[in-house]
Amino acid sequence: MSDSRAWKKIRSLGEGGQGQTFVVQRTDRTDERQYVLKSLKNLDRSGRFESEITALSRLAHPNVVQIIDHGDDSGRPFLVMEFCERGDLAGFDLRSHSLLSRVLMFRQVCDAVATAHRNRLLHRDLKPKNILVRANGTLAVGDFGLCLDLTETDDRLTETAEAVGPRDYIAPELEGGRVESPLPSSDCYSLGKLLYYFVFTRPSSTISRSSRKFAR
């Protein structure tokens, strides 16, 4: 654990309602690689931010985004993660990949979620925006800010008394916070919607051939 002075900000990756993200490098230049620093802006969400740090610290899997550092910057927590150079799946062009390739990519997401479930963690926010793409094309599941630790039963009721997760990918039982004890099956529902996302996007060549066929 360190403070943010150990990291030099290179450029901003954007700002949301909860925090800010930056591409950073180590100030001491012992490592020339770039990373992502996520700084909490809305302190009312500090509990979720701490949950994300705890979750990422517990998970060691090639398809889960790697946490590098975390700390406190004048009362504002931050974490540093690996930088996935090709952005997120929502902005990634799947059309150039074959169906088999996309199914294998989807399997990487499943492997990451299975690891989280074995560690008694529910992600609860699975969507293309939270699937990151590395320079080598491998995927990493990120953003565990809404994750639920099934081992912390004392906090479960308050944590699940609100609707969480992406509207297009959330399991029906999580809408409106109706369920008191979420199960791994909720993540599995979201995985099913993600599989549709992977499969539905066809390669450009296939789209072109289909267009010509119907044009005739």
Catalytic residues, by residue number, are 125
Q: In whole angstroms, what is the distance from residue 97 CA to residue 93 CA?
A: 8
Both tokens of residue 186?
């909720």
Residue 103 Cα distances to 126, 195, 196, 202, angstroms: 17, 8, 10, 12
Beta-ladder partners of 15: 20
What DSSP designation does 66 have? P
State the Cα–Cα distance between residues 38 and 78, nearest whole angstrom: 6
The SS3 call for residue 126 is: coil
* Residue entry with tokens 């926010």: 125
Query: What tokens does 22 get?
Result: 């930056």
